[in-house]
Amino acid sequence: DIQMTQSPSSLSASVGDRVTITCQASQDISNYLNWYQQKPGKAPKLLIYDASNLETGVPSRFSGSGSGTDFTFTISSLQPEDIATYYCQQYNNLPRTFGQGTKVEIK
Amino acid sequence: EVQLVESGGGLVQPGRSLRLSCTASGFTFGDYAMSWVRQAPGKGLEWVGFIRSKTYGGTTEYAASVKGRFTISRDDSKSIAYLQMNSLKTEDTAVYYCTSSSRRVPRGAFDIWGQGTMVTVSS
The SS3 of residue A94 is coil
Contact of B100 with chain A, judged by CB distance below 8 Å, is answered with no
Mean pLDDT across the stretch A8-28?
98
CB nearest A98 (choices: B45, B111, B113): B45
CA distance A82 to chain B (A): 18
Q: How far is CA B74 from CA A45, B29, B37, in A?
A: 24, 10, 16
Q: How confident is the model at residue A9 (pLDDT cuts 50, 70, 90)?
A: very high
Which residues in chain B touch residue A40, judged by CB atoms under 8 angstroms apart?
Answer: none
Confidence band of B120 (pLDDT split at 50, 70, 90) = very high
- CB pair distance less than 8 Å for B45 and A34: no
Question: Measuring CA to CA, which residue among A102, A57, A75 is closest to residue A15?
Answer: A75
Answer for the pair A95, A3: CB distance below 8 angstroms, yes or no: no
Residues of B in contact with A94 (CB under 8 A): 61
DSSP assignment of A65-84 equals EEETTEEEEEESS--GGG-E
Q: At B36, is the pLDDT very low, low, confident or very high (cuts 50, 70, 90)?
A: very high
Q: A49 contacts in B (CB within 8 Å)?
A: 105-106, 109, 111
For residue B116, the one-letter residue type is G
Q: Please give the share of chain A, as a percent, with pLDDT higher than 70.
A: 100
B42 at A interface, C-beta within 8 A: no
Residues 6 or more apart from A74 whose CB is under 8 A from it?
A: A18, A19, A20, A21, A62, A63, A64, A65
Can you tell me the distance from the alpha carbon of A20 to that of A8, in angstroms, rounded to the nearest whole number?
9
pLDDT band at residue B27 under the 50/70/90 scheme: very high
The mean of the pLDDT values for chain B is: 97
* Whether B2 contacts chain A with CB within 8 A: no
Chains A & B: contacts with CB separation below 8 Å: 62
In chain A, which residues have their Cβ closer than 8 Å to the Cβ of B105? 46, 49, 55
Q: What is the pLDDT of residue A20?
A: 98
Q: How many CA atoms lie within 13 A of B5 on its CB side?
A: 7
pLDDT digits 0-9 by tens, A45-69: 999 999 999 999 999 999 999 999 9
